[in-house]
Amino acid sequence: MAAHISDLIFPTATPRTMDISRIFWEKATAIHVYCLQGKEKLADRFSRHLHDLARLRETGHAAEAIAARSVAETVAEHKAMFFRMKAADDSVIDYERAIKGGLILVPDGEDLDALRADYTSMIEEGLLLDDAHDFDALIAQCVALQMEANDAPA
């Protein structure tokens, strides 16, 4: 528009955003906690994290994030200090283990069913792009991503 309206000053912006590797590890560890807690009732709008991780994998950013070990360590340390969570078996969730070969990105049973319902709802409500994966394809992406993250050198 600036080319067509010469006497109008258009603002420019330089938004500050989080590093993509940090976004990846924040989301991956949040999903890890969800999987270990077994609290299907917490699924409301949570499937967006799976969607985001799948998209990061498709664009190659997930591979970059997995290789960013210092970012993974920072996220694990921060969450261990400020977000001490317990698993369904009442054990403390070990974020360090999650970033060093023990990451879980796909729940099972009722937790997976709850995410499926949540994802379907998000699509129906227009919260995800028109080209959102179907849920099974999304889960396949996350299974592959889980294996890639867990097979990476720690």
pLDDT tens, position by position, 102-111: 999 999 888 8
Q: Is residue 5 part of a domain?
A: no
Q: Is residue 134 part of a domain?
A: yes
Q: Is the pTM of this model over 0.75?
A: yes
Q: Which residue has the tokens 């709802």?
A: 121
Total of domains in the chain: 1
Q: Is residue 11 part of a domain?
A: no
- The 10s digit of each residue's pLDDT in 25-71 is 999 999 999 999 987 666 678 899 999 999 999 999 999 999 999 99
Q: What is the mean pLDDT of residues 105-130?
A: 89
Q: Is residue 85 part of a domain?
A: yes
Q: Is residue 115 part of a domain?
A: yes
Q: Is residue 64 part of a domain?
A: yes
Average pLDDT over the chain, rounded to an integer: 91
Angstrom distance (rounded) from CA 51 to CA 130: 13
Domain that holds residue 31: 20-151
Q: Is residue 33 part of a domain?
A: yes
Q: How many CB atoms lie within 10 A of CB 39?
A: 15
Q: Is residue 1 part of a domain?
A: no
